[in-house]
Structure 1
């Protein structure tokens, strides 16, 4: 196994919490109606296109044209986005900061809309600490497309085999491995600490 020289973090559900239900518990109080709304209108796939670089204006107009009676609820997704990221995960953030303080080469690779990522950096200043970040909305590529891992490695001069990727989504972990990286699935801080120890990092 090649020694790790670069550590790359995902962000959502690894360093910060993300849950669209949080503002919508108030906007659409009925749980069945809310589940239907996310399954049929503001779906995961719809939101993923903003991560791929589609503007919120275009995304909203697309849905409002199809569901004019739901305009207020559709536009609420972007308006109340900050409520969807209520806190950071203290345990994993402590590990993240410790690695940086040790002088390890830490970067980030995230599926995130470009504008909401900049807001996330305002809310969570630790997201400005690493050497750099690849944001899918700026690249117009999303994980687990191998091309985004390759773009990140090229942008930051990473040796793929010497790169360790940390992500909560199994598909994204496999995408990294397909790009020649080493990778671990994030579940919680203690598991991550143990995973890093196996690669020779004490945090």
Structure 2
């Protein structure tokens, strides 16, 4: 096992680590759970969103999908026009952890599946995204987690080897892919759990991780 005292930089996923990502909850509120389920069963929204994360243009991709599913075009355009409402609110405790690490001079990086245009929308809303020393955004890189290529981009761009990184992500497949490269990993379930891990790795004190 790699020595955790070798950790030199902290890598954050964004969705469901720093920013809540809950399309189902948004549509449940807008059109009701039953119609939302029918909508998601009929239209590949999550698959389409992955294509946006791969770098496909946001508006054009949604427009093509609406044309292919005219019976759901109102709901499909809601995904585009109300995107920020699906990507909210900020996860405040995680934000505090990011700021605490940054204030100590520990390099903080983001590694995220995000579209080019949607990342710009998020940056306007969430000022803490400017705190990262480097951001590795799938839409810009044209590759997504858990593909090995995007992890390699971060290693090459940052100059850190896997054993020098600790990475928090809410998806098991993304965490496993990082672990296979020798990264230290944390499967994010709660901000407190991530705080406890950072304390255990001696990156933050308990007071700093509040």
Classify the secondary structure of the residue corresponding to 2:177: helix
TM-score after normalising by structure 2? 0.90
Equivalent-residue separation in structure 1 for 2:88 and 2:195 (angstroms): 24
Q: Quick check: 72-81 or 102-111, which moved more? A: 72-81
Q: TM-score normalized by structure 1?
A: 0.93
1:71, distance to aligned residue in structure 2 (A): 1.7
Partner residue of 2:21? 18
Any conservation in 1 of the 2:59–2:80 contact (CA below 8 Å)? no
CA distance in 2, matches of 1:190, 1:28: 33
What does the per-residue CA deviation read over 1:90-122, in whole Å, with 9 as the maximum and x for residues that have no partner?
111111110000100111000011111111111
- Whether the aligned pair in 2 keeps the contact of 1:23 and 1:80 (CA below 8 Å) is no
| 2:113 and 2:144 in contact (8 A); partners too | yes
- Deviation, 1:57, is 3.3
Aligned alpha-carbon RMSD (Å): 1.5
* Aligned equivalent of 1:151, options 145, 150, 153: 153
Count the aligned residue pairs.
Answer: 202
Pick which of 48-57 and 63-72 moved more.
63-72
8 A contact 1:27–1:73 mirrored in 2? no
Gaps of at least 5 residues in structure 1 are none
Post-superposition Cα deviations, 1:24-54, rounded to whole Å, max 9, x if no partner, equal 235423x112112123214311211101111
C-alpha distance in 1, partners of 2:27/2:192?
Answer: 31
Which residue number in structure 2 is paired with residue 181 of structure 1? 183
Matched residue of 2:88: which SS? coil
**Map of 1:197 onto structure 2:** 199
Distance 1:39 1:69 in 2: 13
* Distance (Å, rounded) in 2 between the aligned partners of 1:56 and 1:115: 6
Whether the 8 Å contact between 2:13 and 2:111 is mirrored in structure 1 is yes
Inter-partner Cα distance in structure 1 for 2:126 and 2:78: 22
- CA distance in 1: counterparts of 2:165 and 2:35, whole angstroms: 43
**Structure 2 residue corresponding to 1:139, chosen from 141, 144, 167:** 141
Structure 2 gaps of 5+ residues are: none
